Amino acid sequence: MRFERLALERFGHFESLDLDLGGRAGLIVIHGPNEAGKTTLLRAIHGLLFGIDERSPYGFRFPYQAMAIHATLVDSAGQRLEVVRRKRRKDALLGHLRSEAGEVPLDEPRFGRYFGGVTPDLYRSVFGFTHTDLQQGAEVLQVAGLAELLGGGALGGGAETVRRVLGSLRDEADALFKSRGKNPPINRHLAQVRDTRAALRDATFQQPQYLALTQALRDACHTLATADAELADLRLRSARLHTLLAAFEDFHAHQRLVARLADPALATPLRPADAERAPPLIAELRGLQQRHQALEAELQRLEQRAAQHPVDHALLAESAVIERLVRRVETVARQRRELPREHARLERDHEALLAELTRLSPETARSNQPDRTATANNLSQTPADRAHLNLSQEPADRAQQDLPQEPSDRAHPSIAAITPAELEQVRLALSRWQRARQELQVLARGEADDESDLAALSTESAALAARIPDERGAALLAELEQVQAAHNELERGELELVRQDAELELALARLHPRPAAEALERLPLPSFAAVQDMQSRRLELDRERRDALDHLSQQTAELAAAEAELAQLADEDLPDPAQLAQARQRRDETWTLVRQQLLSKTGTDQRELFGAPGEAPSAARVRVADRRTLARGFERALADADLLADRLRADADRLAQRTALTHTAERARLALTRARERLAALAAAEQDWSAAWTNLWRPTGVPPAAPGPMLAWLGDAISLRDLAANRMRRARDLAPLRPLVVDFSARLRAHLGDPGSAWTALVGQLRAHERSAQTLRGRLEAAQARSAALTAALARTRTARGFLERDLQAAVADLQLRSTALGLAADLDPESAVQRLEALADLGERLAASDLQRAACEQARAALADFDAEVAALLARLAAARTTPGVHDLALRPTTPRDHAPEITTTHRDDLVPITLAPDECPEQRIEALSRALAEARAAASTHALASDEAAERRREQARLAAALSAARGEYEALLARAGVADEAALLAMSERTLLRAQLERSCADLDLRLARSLGEGQGRGAYETELLAARREALVSEQDALARAISGLDQRRLAAVEQKGRREHEAQQLGGDRAARLGAELEVIKTELEEQIDRYVLVHLAERVLDRVTDRYARENQPALLQYTSELLARITAGRHLRVVVQPETRSLAVVDNSGQLRLPADLSSGTREQLFLALRLAYILDYCDRSEPLPIILDDVLVNFDDTRAAACLAALRDAARATQVILLTCHRRVPDLALSVAPDTRILELHEAQHPRIQRPADA
Amino acid sequence: MITVVHAADLHIDSPLRGLGRLEGAPVDDLRLATRRAFVSLVDTCLEEQAALLVLAGDVFDGEWRDFNTGLFFVRELARLREVGTQVVMVRGNHDAESVLARHIPLPEHVFTFSVEAPETREYPRLGLAVHGQSYGARSVEDNLAEAYPARRRDLFNLGVLHTNAVASAEHGNYAPCTVAQLVRHGYDYWALGHVHRRMVLHRDPWVVYPGNLQGRHAHETGAKGCTILRLDGLRVDRVEEREVDVLRWAELVVSADAAVDMDDLLGQVRLGMQRALAEAGGRAVLARITIEGTTDLHATLAAEPAAVQAQVRALAAELGELWPEKIRFVTRPPLGEIGELYDLYQALRDELRGLAEDPAALARYSESLAPLVTAAAPFLGHRPDDPQRLIARLGDLESLLLARLGAAPPVPRASSIPHAASSTWAPGKGEDARPHEV
């Protein structure tokens, strides 16, 4: 890759700098004074290739955003790269890559491909460096390792690989383990192993721990048992104390009571029960006496009250009758008012009905008249008369008079004969008659319609039958499908044939040479394989021919080259063996002289010995001379001989070369001859092929062209043949179809009578005809079916009409019969008869209703008379009762014997109500008065009864009191006798004493019981009592406190023991856990991982060391190309002062061999030479790199500072040579450098970089 | 019909070995696998209403000193007392050195055979005579079986012995005896322990190793459990095996010979894992996966094993109850695949070959491992720089180096520069190249 143009915009102090670096390959020297911007230029090139530094120092004049570096580069493939570099984070590089193939955009990765593995740092240290870099490198040279210096030159392209592998192995090993690290996996796992081991130790439950645990458990159990026993004792004592304390008070109270009961003053003859009875008995006796007196007074008061209220017993005895009559009073009064009016109205209605009946049926009405009149008369009496009559007459008479009237229906039997059933039958007959008549009418209408329809249908059928065509059309239609298919096939086939004809014609026209179309089928075409075979043979021949020609031209070229070289060698001066012989002779002679001299101790003439070279020394003239001089002379002769021998050797080489060249030329000539022979053989083969080719095509009569086109032609011809055959087949298939279609068309035309129409129209017409004929036939069939149906219906109608007429006549006869039977005129038309009958029936019903009402009226009259009779009877009974004595006050007599006799009273009362009716008085009024008197009598009776009941009760109570009083008195007397006292007061005192003693005894017994409960019985109690008698309460309490404290302490001890036991038991139950097992497994896991990592580390580490050592040794043992380059360059730069660069295995470094053969380490060299060595190494590396990779331009900034003129010139010459491989740009501020460059390389381009302020480029005149 | 359950080599609470942390794996099943297997054994006894449980040694792991383990054992055995199952056991070599086996008080229904001399325990109600002897020391070189009591008449004779009767190299050669000798002894059933693989050495009389209860490392693969013996009077009716393990170990060896690419290879691994899962009958599976063979994938596998391992683990996670314990690659590159560094490869091989024969040279290399050795040796039980171990790893070392060098991308060539004719191009390998400093 070379720069053609480099332009800086606003970079460093350059506002704009444009350098043309194109043109022929050669050294470019850019000269400029200090601060002209040479280093800026160098850094700009770095920036262009690898990007401008983040903190570039070249933004001091213009802002970063404005910086831009433009360049045009050309790569080794001749492609042109246009690149713009800006200082940006994104899209810093823009450009495109242009070649003959086109143009593509150039981005960072694509641009980066040019640098391969060259990083910015590597570029800076190898390809583009300053004098400072050179100096530093030269210093490093003294300490750097061999591999570093050689960079794997011995390994060729693999050096980078080895370096990379070494690096990766080292990285991997470091990542696995660091001797003082913490994080690498091995270090980490080691720590984990340590930790896990510790954890495992902690978690392991070992034998001593197990023994300790079981022992602790046993101890805890023992402690617990002891504490439990002790606690039981203490609790026993505590319970005893508790009992003693509880019984203490009771015990001493008991003792006191026993002492008190022993007092004799408390002894009495009375029993405690008697003592208790005495005071209440005395009080009871007094109370009874008082009560008896009070009852006596009460009884007297009650007797007085009963005497004040007398009772009317007769009236009370009739109370039920009176109450019943009172209930009827209101109804009777109303009936007495309304009955005559109702009777009159009914009679009037009856008359009206009879009149109606007469109108309807006069005979019936007449027969009823007299009875009706009598009844009406009977009813026309006044109520008062009737009442009077009823009351004064005997019931039997009344029954005779009030006989109910004859039922009214008996008076008109014809009406009653028309029962609803008969009437219903008459109605039924009527409705039958009416229905029959209606049906008859309908039937008559339907028959007429049917007849007219039938006539119309016959006419239509005839018309249709006339219009229907014959059957020929249908036959044609059946045939049509098949013929239609044939027709379509025919049309399609004909079209296809036409198309195939056209195709065939076209293909034939295209086929060149063109065979006859007719003969195509029979054309004997060669097989495809044969033609292909011929073609491949032809291709083979062509290829061989090309090869042969190539070979020929190559051999010709080789021969020419060899001959040219031979000619060149021939021109050169070849050595002369005679000269060599002469020189050897002279050496031998000199040697003989020397020997003689040495042996004879005589010297040789020095002057003769050192005569002009080439002149033979004369032995005779040799004189004795100084040995040293002789020796020098000998040496000189020897040197001459050697020189000549050397030259001879070189010349021999050249001779050998010439011989080799002659051989080469011979070989080339031989090969040339063979190539020509091969060509001739090929020509014969080609002729054979041509003949075969022509023979192949001869039968077809087609003049053959080249195999390629003929192959295509053959393909076409074969397909054409197939096409033609296909067409013929098709035509054959179609031939029989046409007559069929033509015949059918003729018949169709004849049928349709349309000779001119086309096929489609004909088919259409046929189908239309057939369709209409089909329709007509359908219609005719429908009409005939309908006509048949109508005829049948007509026949049915007529039959039905006959039946109906018969029905009608029967109905009329029946109706007439029925109306006559009901007494109607026989000639009445059926409807009027029914109306009349219905009116009669209605009248009958009304008459029956009227009779019912009249009967009810009669019943009411009878009830009225009954009432009056009952009143009269009541009054008579009452009157009788007044005249006999009553027993009203019987209930007041005392039931118990009394001091005074019972009082029997007989009352006759004048204030009672009268019991006879006044002549103008209504019975109802009398009944109401009686009712009032009855209420008063009842109130008086109830008061009397109450007083007598109460008096009886009091008397019974008085009797009971008297009995109790006597019993109490008896008891009192007995008590006094038992106590042996005379009066009430003494009895009471004695009773009191007795009671006190009884109470004391009860208390004593209670205490005794409680003591027995708390202390028990028997010996235990004895012990308790003894202790209680002896003990003091305070002593007992204090002992109890002490015991409580002891128990509490013991309880705590026991609790602790329980806890201890529980804990140990829990621990024992927890045993068998798996924590240690888990940790053991974990440890195993970590160890496994650790071992894996250690294995890997050992492997990688050893691999790195082995590779490093082997590579190093290999590099040393295989003299690398790099060293060769370096040696050559160093020898050249130092003008032969230092000859070679060699590897120094002991120090694993480089060493230099100078022209004196001495080996010198870099540290032994002058700084200038060291720089030169380093420069040589770099250039060697670059040359080596350019051999393998895309060349990159070299930029050197004043690297020749420490070089003297000779070495600088030599270095420039080396750079000039390097510039053939890649572009070399040398920046300098020294004037001598461009001059020197021009002197060693006249084609050097010198560019001037001017003043810093406004730098611009000036082309030198000589460039 | 009487049921006797025969188990051996419980090694309760000994951890599963060689197992790193497995993400998502059932931690309890992994860490307490031996315990769970024992619980399962006791459950089996209860289910089968076994009359006798015979434990033929190595109940505990020798080094393990956590009494919790012993108490767990006792607690579980107590469950059998409730149903009347008797237990007889002998102490094996591990028990002999175990403090637990000596000091844990066992319930009264458990009978341990004496260390001093062989003895017989009769169960007349069951019609059984059980003969046995415990180990008094870890290493018992005598043939214990010789001194076992003679057969008892009218009883079913069952001998319990912890022995290496098959001269297995994997196990210590303790109480050595031969199958023929045992057969001759006249017992009806020999309940053996010590060899961790299930083996029926003889039928009628039966000589049976039930194997251990739970596989504990990658070499104890397959189903593990106990043997159930059904007696019909004095006759063996049938002998069954019962799996009681909670985890399975499986060893998958996948050949990469035919794999065309990584997907293909992973597909084969997946198939193998599915097979292992199917065989485990619903148990979690710990699989050691070895990929071997000659393959083009060698460079990738050797250079970046971690990535492929991650893929395999992801596959396993997808399948469910399977966790790769280790994923190893024992592959070789196809011949002639070596690139431009051929000479260097040769030099490397020569160097490694020389190291294998020259411990002094190896020691020079391993000097720099000193910090690691100092830090890690106390925890490992061996030295990471042990020459024998290192020599054993030289093959891996060569593979690693060749793979890294071979798999490394070449330096950029002039031809890798972009070309305008192709508007896009994939990033080349050259972009990763390290800077070359001089």
**Which tens digit of pLDDT belongs to each residue from A848-881?**
888 888 888 888 888 888 888 888 888 888 877 7
Candidates A81, A123, A161, A162, partner chain B, best to mutate (most B CBs within 10 A): A161
| Residue pair A694/A704 in contact by the 8 Å Cβ criterion | yes
Q: Is the pLDDT of residue A158 over 70?
A: no
DSSP state of A683: H
Arithmetic mean of pLDDT, B123-145: 90
pLDDT value at position A893? 40
pLDDT value at position A20? 87
Least confident of A140-149, A659-668, A1245-1254, B304-313: A140-149
User: Which 1090-1149 residues of chain A touch chain B by CB within 8 A?
Assistant: 1090-1092, 1094-1095, 1097-1103, 1105-1107, 1109-1111, 1113-1114, 1118
Arithmetic mean of pLDDT, A1162-1178: 84
Which one of B30, B64, B379 has the shortest CB-CB distance to A193? B379
Q: Is the pLDDT of residue B144 over 70?
A: yes
pLDDT value at position A949? 84
Q: Is the pLDDT of residue A1150 over 80?
A: no
**Which tens digit of pLDDT belongs to each residue from A744-791?**
888 888 877 777 777 788 888 888 888 888 888 888 888 888 888 888
**Which tens digit of pLDDT belongs to each residue from A989-1003?**
888 888 888 888 889
**Residue A125 C-alpha from the chain's centroid:** 62
Task: Report which secondary-structure segment, H or E, holds A1206.
Answer: helix A1205-1221
CA of B376, closest CA in chain A: separation in Å?
7
pLDDT value at position A1240? 86
Q: Is the pLDDT of residue A1216 over 80?
A: yes
Do you know the residue count of chain A? 1263
B336/A796: higher pLDDT: A796
Arithmetic mean of pLDDT, A480-493: 86
pLDDT value at position B428? 34
Ordered DSSP codes for A831-881: HHHHHHHHHHHHHHHHHHHHHHHHHHHHHHHHHHHHHHHHHHHHHHHHHHH
A765/A522: higher pLDDT: A765
Res. A376 pLDDT band, cuts 50 70 90: very low
Cα–Cα distances (Å) from A1147 to A142, A569, A1118, A1150, A1161, in that order, read 11, 48, 17, 8, 10
DSSP state of A54: T
In one-letter notation, the amino acid at residue A703 is P
Q: Is the pLDDT of residue A246 over 70?
A: yes
Arithmetic mean of pLDDT, A167-194: 89
Rounded Cα gap, residues A225 and A1054, in angstroms? 9
**Which tens digit of pLDDT belongs to each residue from A1026-1069?**
888 888 888 889 999 999 999 999 999 899 999 989 998 888 87
Rounded Cα gap, residues A944 and B109, in angstroms? 112
Res. A155 pLDDT band, cuts 50 70 90: very low
Q: Is the pLDDT of residue A259 over 90?
A: no
CA of A1230, closest CA in chain B: separation in Å?
28
A937/A895: higher pLDDT: A937
Which one of A101, A119, A205 has the shortest CB-CB distance to B66? A205
**Which tens digit of pLDDT belongs to each residue from A1086-1143?**
998 899 899 989 999 999 988 888 877 776 666 566 777 888 888 888 888 888 887 7
Arithmetic mean of pLDDT, B344-359: 84
Count how many Cα atoms sit within 13 Å of the Cα of residue A333 in the half-sphere of its side chain.
14
Cα–Cα distances (Å) from A556 to A672, A679, A810, in that order, read 7, 14, 153
A59/A116: higher pLDDT: A59
Res. B181 pLDDT band, cuts 50 70 90: very high
Q: Is the pLDDT of residue A346 over 80?
A: yes
Average pLDDT of chain B is: 85
Tokens describing residue A287: 């109370």
pTM of the model: 0.45
Nearest CA in chain A to B395: A1099
Rounded Cα gap, residues A1000 and A982, in angstroms? 28
Best CA proximity match to A1223, nearest among A1240, A1245, A1242, A1239: A1245
Residue A436 CB coordination number (10 Å): 20
Least confident of A541-545, B2-6, B225-229: A541-545
**Which tens digit of pLDDT belongs to each residue from A630-656?**
777 778 877 877 887 787 788 778 788
Rounded Cα gap, residues A780 and A785, in angstroms? 9
**Which tens digit of pLDDT belongs to each residue from B273-298?**
999 999 998 899 999 999 998 888 88
Residue B98 near chain A (CB below 8 Å): no
Least confident of A702-716, A1048-1062, B3-17: A702-716
Rounded Cα gap, residues B243 and B280, in angstroms? 10
**Three-state secondary structure call for residue A512:** coil
Count how many Cα atoms sit within 13 Å of the Cα of residue B331 in the half-sphere of its side chain.
29
Arithmetic mean of pLDDT, A1254-1262: 41
* Residues whose CB is less than 8 angstroms from the CB of residue A793 and which lie 6 or more positions away in sequence, other chains included: A450
Query: What percentage of chain A reaches a pLDDT higher than 70?
Result: 84
Res. A577 pLDDT band, cuts 50 70 90: low
Of A157-161, A907-911, B83-87, the range with the highest mean pLDDT is B83-87
Nearest CA in chain B to A1110: B348
Residue A102 near chain B (CB below 8 Å): yes
Arithmetic mean of pLDDT, B110-128: 92
Alpha helices by DSSP H, A177-206: 185-203
Res. B206 pLDDT band, cuts 50 70 90: very high
Give the torsion sign (CA, A503, A505, A509, A513): positive
Q: How many CB pairs under 8 A join A and B?
A: 271
Q: Which residues of A touch B428 (CB under 8 A)?
A: 113
Average pLDDT of chain A is: 79
Q: Is the pLDDT of residue A383 over 60?
A: no
Rounded Cα gap, residues A70 and A73, in angstroms? 10
Do you know the residue count of chain B? 438
Q: Which residues of A touch B433 (CB under 8 A)?
A: 116-117, 160, 164
Arithmetic mean of pLDDT, A880-905: 47
Candidates A178, A1098, A1105, A1118, partner chain B, best to mutate (most B CBs within 10 A): A1098
Q: Is the pLDDT of residue B24 over 90?
A: no
pLDDT value at position A901? 40
Residue B385 near chain A (CB below 8 Å): yes
| Residue pair A1114/A220 in contact by the 8 Å Cβ criterion | no
Tokens describing residue A925: 């009024």
ipTM for the predicted complex comes to 0.85
CA of A79, closest CA in chain B: separation in Å?
8
Res. A150 pLDDT band, cuts 50 70 90: low
CA of B18, closest CA in chain A: separation in Å?
5
